[in-house]
Chains A and B, each alone.
Chain A
Amino acid sequence: MIKFFLMVNKQGQTRLSKYYEHVEINKRTLLETEVIKSCLSRSSEQCSFIEFKDFKLIYRQYAALFIVVGVNDTENEMAIYEFIHNFVEVLDEYFSRVNFETQFTCPDTHAFNVY
């Protein structure tokens, strides 16, 4: 099960977030900071899966943007890893060559994520 889906840039600013389980707003900010901190501390030789608290983070980096998915431990990490890429491909198709360093317009991206 996916718990949340995040897009965060290297500066730690959230670009897109979607929670599939309710989390209080102030806890969200804390969680996001911790998540991006643990993603930034990883090098490219290290694996893309992080055991984080009682769930797992699966992340992929596209230029300065991190896409992080939080899942519970019943999930197949590699499937999620590829799912992220699939998501990016779809975005790419829809917005025709998005430059990932610029920001997305929020509602359109949400349209994908939410539906």
Chain B
Amino acid sequence: MSDIVEKTLTALPGLFLQNQSVGGPAGVKASFSSRLGGLVRGITALTSKHEEEKLIQQELSNLKATVSAPTTTLKMMKECMVRLIYCEMLGYDASFGYIHAIKLAQQGNLLEKRVGYLAVSLFLHESHELLLLLVNTVVKDLQSTNLVEVCMALTIVSQIFPREMIPAVLPLIEDKLQHSKEIIRRKAVLALYKFHLIAPNQVQHIHIKFRKALCDRDVGVMAASLHIYFRMIKENSSGYKDLTGSFVTILKQVVGGKLPVDFNYHSVPAPWLQIQLLRILGLLGKDDQRTSELMYDVLDESLRRAELNHNVTYAILFECVHTVYSIYPKSELLEKAAKCIGKFVLSPKINLKYLGLKALTYVIQQDPTLALQHQMTIIECLDHPDPIIKRETLELLYRITNAQNITVIVQKMLEYLHQSKEEYIIVNLVGKIADVLVLNTVDTYAPDNAWFIQTMNAVFSVGGDVMHPDIPNNFLRLLAEGFDDETEDQQLRLYAVQSYLTLLDVENVFYPQKFLQVMSWVLGEYSYLLDKDTPEEVLTKLYKLLMNDSVSSETKAWLIAAVTKLTPQAHSSNIVERLIQEFTISLDTCMRQHAFELKHLRENLELMKSLLPVDKSCEDMVVDASLSFLDGFVAEELSQGAAPYKPHHQRQEEKLSQEKVLNFEPYGLSFSSSGFTGRQSPAGISLGSDLSGNSAETGLKETNSLKLEGIKKLWGKEGYLPKKEGKTGDETEALPVPQESIIMENVDQTITKKDQCQVLTQSKEEKEKQLLASSLFVGLGSESTINLLGKADTVSHKFRRKSKVKETKSGETSSAHNITCSYFSSSSNATYEDDYYLDTLQDREDKELNKFSLNSELLDSESLTELPSVEKLSNCKLSSPSLFTDNNMEGFHPSQPTAPSVANETSLASSLLEETSEHMHSDLVEVCHNETISMSSYKIWKDDCLLMVWSVSNKSGLELKSANLEIAPAEYFKITEQPGCCLPVIEAESIKTFQYNVQMEKPFTDGNLTGFINYQMMDTHSVQLEFSVNLSLLDFIRPLKISTENFGKLWLSFANDVKQNVKVSESQAALSSALKTLQQKLRLHVVEIIGNEGLLACQLLPSIPCLLHFRVHGDVLALWFRSSCSSLPDYLLYQCQKVMEGS
């Protein structure tokens, strides 16, 4: 953001300069502004949009004639541009003027040039083809001696510049970083920031210069460099931890008012700069105690200084709070920050309130108790007249949803949902409700079946057509997969079926298509759970829907799938027959096919039943993915001269290459396909499953996506008919379902009861709010309450039904009562009247008890999981001093323990050198150790793979048993172990090695290999040590030994190329020394040297070649990489630069 401010401020001197240099063309200015003024006035005077359009079209046709007339002077052109800009701003196409804008920027004098550049930046966008015409002008202006021209060129570069042309201007801009004028330096930094945004790897090599910019004596330059740092730190904070001190110092200076007064805004020193710095600190200090400690002081100072009552200080405070809660926590600061949030939330100023809510939403994830402090304010905001405030509050509540408050929160969300019209809000909110309910299928908070289904119905009917497709899918999966308890699941399904049938009974209601799809799937799968409605009735309803014109054809496919599933269960099938008749003549091919399928299936009822078994949607099906049973058929067809199968993408590529007359594309496309054609070459007529396997892949995908429809359930277990069992179970358990009303209703009832029997000291409204508060913030209380209620039902049912909990908890009424009291008194900050609550509690005992017992269950499990982490924390704190003593020990007694280990290492190295000597290998690096063992690792760069060797040396005098090394599976690597990775015994003071072959699966730049070793000491406990090793792409680069001729061939066939000039030091300038560096450090193979040019080749294991052509000009090395892999050249270039600069 502040880069705009930056730019704005930067513009001032430039403008003044310009006005001076242009002198006083007042007359010209007046005439051109008056013509524009005339146009503007003309438009403002008009009343209708239609008239405006007419006027502007007129204006545009005039302009079109003027700009293309040869007699038009540049001065007139400038005036035309201004009017064109205005017309385009109003939304009328002025593309005929684009080329003239570029011309003006090329040819005009200062002011004309400026208008030209301005027009270009407003008209064009980054990928516009005309922009290429501007590159030369920019290069020329960058080299100009006129500061204003340089400024303009830098500005346009930081606004729009084609990505491919960056190398053309990069060296020029880099030079500008050393310019004597700060405005130029600043603009150069901003231009580089732009490059960093659009092509980060092109500016990788100038990171060191950014540091210089950060330390620039001019504040503006420093501030500009912060944008780059913010971005880089966001991507990888660990690489810039060493700069924390600098950022802290800068912020200290800014906060302390050390900056020139020009940077003050309403006597606050450089507020936007402060905000940027705070953000950077937040990123750096995240999860890093040591770094965070550096910034505590300055954060405290910022919080203290920003007490002035001005909006911009609130903005700084907000950022401060954000940072305090992002970094490693410090209680003192948290307290201050919390106070700050309190001030915001309670402020009568609406903007501040919004800011407070936003801060609270962020903070609440770390510290839920803060919500309790402000619960009454939150409740007020929930009914705030401003919908934006309301929405922000809902966002906050969404973050604190738990099993106890879900009904209330979801109800509030639904209320808002019903009011809102805007599609985006609906999508967002529906997503959140569904997220709370369904998406976390592992543990949904929903309290009971009826509520769950009803809420989902509401969600589907409001947001059905716009919601994310995951939502219905996840909902159906939840229904199908069910939870631990089978009877619960059956009831949930039954309830869903019942509620859908009721919904479908309602006449003249249109449900969203997605909702209908969900309904049809559920009805098709679970109608068998019904006992009174026979399948015929369900079929009738489905039929009615099928005949409905408002139903989309996609939904109809779902419906007919449901019908197909129900058909074998139905006794009479008039409807099905009618339906078949209806749709076998349908114009919709898809429907017609379904109808025919159904028709044929019905002829064999036994087959149909085994094909569509009841309640088997979750069973795994066995599919012959290779379709090997078709092999005979395929072979026969091929022998009769049929063309072999080609996968879809190949067919398309071939088609494309045939159609192409003139190839405008880079050659990459056609060459990359050569891999496929190679495989399909006529020699390979071993076609069978291998080829048909290709087609099976797509087939498999289809089955996956269609799984929910249940059509493809081909093979299931036979003989299992849960029909009767389910029915009897349902009869007894179906009854309580409708009786269970939603908690909210109960709460409402208690409110009315209270009102009747109590002498009211507070208004009813107030109480409702408090009640609402208590139901919203339940479950966020302190943990002491839970520990009291130690005995908790640990069986985790996802749908904890009230009745059940009641049974288990009825014995604990009294104790729980006490606890609820203490809970309330602790959480309600004296705003509540005790007697009121005691009464309420007695009345609500039943309901509340349930909630609290649930609460205890939930929190119990939470506290269980939290305990270890607490221990960890204390461990961490303890570990630092203990580490210290460790260090001391080593310092004091270095001779004894280290000597043997050194000896070990050397012996180890020598023992392995036999094997390693033939390959290059890295040094031995210790990866982890404890008092008994020490582990080191090194890499051997074998020709065909990377061999990782971990050597474990047993330092103790004892035997270690069943030592085992395991490497965690990594995304990028394939790891195969060499024999002997599990050793029964490691003798005392000996060394064992483990070897692993590592192969790369897909290209990456940096990756980690983690794993652990465990062993047993003296048959007692087993010890586990974790370690990780960093691997870079370089580890997989090998020389590629090819001839010059082959090099030439390959060179032409690769499409991805990268060119770059690298400056090298004197010593590197000689071709031979540069070659040597590349050969040694990057393992490139020197193919040939011709004069001052060199050809090198390497390959990325297993077999991605990359070629390098380079040429030496004085101290500049022109590197040119080509490869079949798109990312490889970039990466190698980066490595080359590093190597060249490093040596």
A115 touches B8 (CB 8 A): yes
A2-B4, A82-B311 known; A47 vs B88 contact (CB < 8 Å): no
B43's contact among A13, A18, A28, A52, by CB below 8 Å, is which? A13
Tally of contact residues, B, Cβ under 8 A: 58
A83 interface residue per 8 A CB criterion: yes
B311 touches A105 (CB 8 A): no
- Output the nearest chain B residue to A21 by Cβ-Cβ distance: B125
Among the 9-residue stretches B386-394, B522-530, B1073-1081, the one with 4 or more Cβ atoms under 8 Å from chain A is B386-394
B265's contact among A17, A80, A86, by CB below 8 Å, is which? A86
Among the 9-residue stretches B9-17, B293-301, B483-491, B758-766, the one with 4 or more Cβ atoms under 8 Å from chain A is B9-17
Q: What chain A residues lie within 8 Å of B353 (beta carbons)? A: 47
A61 interface residue per 8 A CB criterion: no
B315 interface residue per 8 A CB criterion: yes
**A35-60 contacts to B (CB < 8 Å):** 45-54
Q: What chain A residues lie within 8 Å of B690 (beta carbons)? A: none
B925 interface residue per 8 A CB criterion: no
B269-299 CB mask vs A (1 if < 8 Å, else 0) is: 0011001000000000000000000000000
A78 touches B89 (CB 8 A): no
A112 interface residue per 8 A CB criterion: yes
Q: What chain B residues lie within 8 Å of A80 (beta carbons)? A: 1
B417-454 CB mask vs A (1 if < 8 Å, else 0) is: 00000001100000000000000000000000000000
Q: What chain B residues lie within 8 Å of A28 (beta carbons)? A: 91
B82's contact among A49, A54, A107, by CB below 8 Å, is which? A107
- Output the nearest chain A residue to B391 by Cβ-Cβ distance: A51
A1-14 CB mask vs B (1 if < 8 Å, else 0) is: 11001000000011
Distance of A48 Cα from B311 Cα, bound (Å): 12
A110 touches B1 (CB 8 A): no
Task: State the Cβ distance, B324 to closest chain A Cβ, in Å.
Answer: 15
B1-45 CB mask vs A (1 if < 8 Å, else 0) is: 110110111111011000000000000000001001100100110
- Output the nearest chain B residue to A82 by Cβ-Cβ distance: B312
- Output the nearest chain B residue to A91 by Cβ-Cβ distance: B8
Distance of A16 Cα from B43 Cα, bound (Å): 14
A54's contact among B36, B318, B424, by CB below 8 Å, is which? B424
**B37-73 contacts to A (CB < 8 Å):** 37, 40, 43-44
Task: State the Cβ distance, B155 to closest chain A Cβ, in Å.
Answer: 6
A50-82 CB mask vs B (1 if < 8 Å, else 0) is: 111110000000000000000100011111111
Task: State the Cβ distance, A90 to closest chain B Cβ, in Å.
Answer: 6
A25 touches B93 (CB 8 A): yes
A47-B388, A112-B11 known; A22 vs B354 contact (CB < 8 Å): no
A50-B388, A114-B118 known; A17 vs B355 contact (CB < 8 Å): no
Task: State the Cβ distance, A108 to closest chain B Cβ, in Å.
Answer: 9
A96 interface residue per 8 A CB criterion: no
A99 interface residue per 8 A CB criterion: no
B11 touches A46 (CB 8 A): no
- Output the nearest chain A residue to B392 by Cβ-Cβ distance: A51
B312's contact among A1, A18, A29, A79, by CB below 8 Å, is which? A79
A111 touches B15 (CB 8 A): yes
Task: State the Cβ distance, B528 to closest chain A Cβ, in Å.
Answer: 44
Q: What chain B residues lie within 8 Å of A14 (beta carbons)? A: 89-91
A76 touches B4 (CB 8 A): no
B88 touches A25 (CB 8 A): yes
- Output the nearest chain A residue to B425 by Cβ-Cβ distance: A51
- Output the nearest chain A residue to B95 by Cβ-Cβ distance: A25
A48 touches B351 (CB 8 A): yes
Distance of A54 Cα from B424 Cα, bound (Å): 7
Q: What chain A residues lie within 8 Å of B391 (beta carbons)? A: 51
Q: Identify which of A51, A52, A78 gathers the most chain B CB atoms within 10 Å of its CB.
A: A78
Q: Identify which of A26, A81, A111 gathers the most chain B CB atoms within 10 Å of its CB.
A: A111
Q: What chain A residues lie within 8 Å of B355 (beta carbons)? A: 77-78
Give the B-binding residues of A (Cβ under 8 A): 1-2, 5, 13-14, 16-18, 22, 25-26, 28-29, 32, 45-54, 71, 75-83, 86-87, 90, 94, 103, 105-107, 110-115
A47-B388, A76-B1, A106-B82 are known contacts; what are 18 more A-B pairs with Cβ within 8 Å? A5-B4, A14-B89, A16-B89, A17-B89, A25-B92, A26-B91, A29-B90, A32-B91, A51-B391, A52-B424, A81-B311, A82-B312, A83-B2, A90-B8, A106-B85, A106-B89, A112-B8, A114-B155
What are 7 A-B pairs with beta-carbon distances under 8 A? A2-B4, A46-B350, A47-B354, A51-B425, A79-B1, A79-B319, A83-B1
